[in-house]
Amino acid sequence: MKKIIFLAILVCFCFGFFACGSSGPTTPQLPDKFQITDIKVYMASVFYWGDFTAIASYANNDDQDAIVTGTIDFGDGTVRDLKDNQGYAGPVLPKNSSGSWESTHGMHDYAAKGVYKVKVQLIAQFKQGPISSTFEKDVEIKIK
């Protein structure tokens, strides 16, 4: 009788172990992150010309690269897509990486000197889903 009970417990234990698998706990997927932290102004003083890039911090926790698209509003009614030769707002966000990212240049010829609110809107297309970020900065355009 004791042998039968012992064998029954042993069979139940083995069946439960093999039927449920022994792969162990799963690691949760870390979230992706994308946040514009600044708009870098390269030139805002020669012939009313403005040259800007967006700086962002990111974390791509996916197994594929992420692309970034977006627009720049120059504050005078002109809005343009930020595009490089491949049609993106800058370099891809490499898979399984994090760090700082800089967009392609947004250049604009202003009609007059003054203070303009430059606004950048970007969308990072991650495997887990898109993340959008917006940043505004007052920029003074003047002649040297």
* Per-residue model confidence as pLDDT tens digits over 91-106: 999 999 999 999 999 9
Closest CA to 104 of 117, 85, 121, 77: 85
- Give me the residue spans of the domains in the chain: 33-141
DSSP state of 28: P
CA neighbours within 13 Å on the CB side: how many for 32? 25
Per-residue pLDDT band at 44 (split at 50, 70, 90): low
CA neighbours within 13 Å on the CB side: how many for 37? 10
Give pLDDT, residue 127: 94
Q: Quick check: 23 pLDDT over 60?
A: no
Please, which residues have CB within 8 angstroms of residue 82's CB and are 6 or more apart in sequence?
54, 69, 70, 71, 72, 89, 90, 103, 104, 106, 120, 122
Give pLDDT, residue 86: 86
94 SS3 class:
coil
Give pLDDT, residue 48: 76
Q: The domain 33-141: what is its CATH number?
A: 2.60.40.10
pLDDT digits (tens, 9 = 90+) for 49-68: 788 999 999 999 999 999 99
Q: Find the mean pLDDT for residues 64-89.
A: 94
Q: Give me the sign of the Cα torsion angle 78, 137, 134, 99.
A: positive
